[in-house]
Amino acid sequence: MWQYIVKIVITAVAVVAVTEIAKRSSFWAAALASLPVTSLLAFAWIYTETGDTQRIATLSHSIFWLILPTLPLFLLLPLLLRLGVDFWISLGLACATTAVAYALMLRALATVGVEL
């Protein structure tokens, strides 16, 4: 039980840190947010709980391929906001575009035989 509490606290601290730093510096908040903190925490927790390095290697490989379809979100969201589109609409469109990009990536990976 204590491991779940530690996981929740560390994850919450990371999210709060990004939002608080963003109030002062977009650059440093972006630098922190762009770090694969979630992935690193997952790797550490999996290793601590199972010692299974193959599971970590498989997860890392899958994460690599699934990062790529998230990139349009970071291009479309600021574009829409700069064009004056409402925040929630912009976020919804950017998320929908990301969902489509995920579907296309999964189809492309299956076509070339990459298993996640």
Return the amino acid letter for 78: P
Q: Are 7 and 41 in contact (CB under 8 A)?
A: yes
Q: Is the confidence at residue 61, as pLDDT, over 90?
A: yes
Predicted local confidence at residue 29, as pLDDT: 86
HSE-CB for 71 with a 13 A CA cutoff:
7
- Give tens-digit pLDDT for 12-58: 888 898 899 989 998 888 888 887 888 888 899 899 999 999 999 99
Parse the chain into domains and list their residue ranges: 57-116
- Give tens-digit pLDDT for 80-115: 999 999 999 999 999 999 999 999 999 999 999 988
Q: Are 104 and 71 in contact (CB under 8 A)?
A: no
Residues whose CB falls within 8 Å of the CB of residue 109, separated by 6 or more in sequence, listed in order = 65, 115, 116
Q: Are 84 and 46 in contact (CB under 8 A)?
A: no
pTM for this prediction: 0.72
